[in-house]
Amino acid sequence: MKVGIYTGSFNPVHIGHLALANYLCEFEGLDEVWFMVSPRNPFKQEDELMDDALRLELVRLAVEGYPKFRASDFEFHLSRPSYTVHTLEALRQTYPEHEFYYIMGSDNWASFTRWYEWKRILDENQILIYPRPGYPVQQEALPAHARLVSSPVFEVSSTFIRRALHDGKDIRYFLHPAVYHRLKDSLPSLP
């Protein structure tokens, strides 16, 4: 099975995340996308980061009912800080029957050579790069294991979502309905 690994804080998960993953399954040949919620990094100041359990719950609510999506707390059980190279290695050891594809935005690709053991990540894994505004990628310049996907560009960000929620904006159409209602329950100031 071809499994896309989509890591992130998902703070919170929004329609941009879901639409991209949907595109990768339906148009780029992935059988599943695993939304791998990254745990809070104890070495970083992350004042705006929602609780790990809440972010995971929101992802579970968002992916429920679509058989090609899966919420994962896999990184919660790895040693910290969590490095992508270690996550991908642990996934291959735990699920040898799957072929994994690491999903990253072109913004992350632009700084990929600063990642911990980036050459090893590239040598040992397939990389799917999706476009992000302001970060063009030339397919012909990519290494053999990396591929640019032609997904639509989604300009929604979790930062935008958090600011809008903080400002009391009604952004229900930027979130999966179950995520919106869960946030509304936990943040009574939502419209």
pLDDT at position 14: 96
- DSSP-based three-state secondary structure for 68: coil
Q: Mean pLDDT over residues 89-105, rounded?
A: 97
pLDDT at position 43: 47
pLDDT at position 186: 77
Query: Tens digits of per-residue pLDDT, 114-156?
Result: 999 999 999 999 999 999 989 999 989 999 999 999 999 888 8
- The percentage of the chain sitting over the pLDDT mark of 70, rounded to a whole number, equals 94
Q: Mean pLDDT over residues 71-95, rounded?
A: 94
- DSSP-based three-state secondary structure for 65: coil
Query: Tens digits of per-residue pLDDT, 163-178?
Result: 998 888 899 999 999 9
Query: Helices 177-186 and 52-63: crossing angle, nearest 10°?
Result: 150
| Whether CATH 3.40.640.10 fits 2-155 | no
What is the residue extent of each domain of the chain?
2-155
Among positive and negative, which fits the CA dihedral 105, 6, 88, 147? negative
> What is the C-alpha radius of gyration for the chain, rounded to an integer number of angstroms?
16
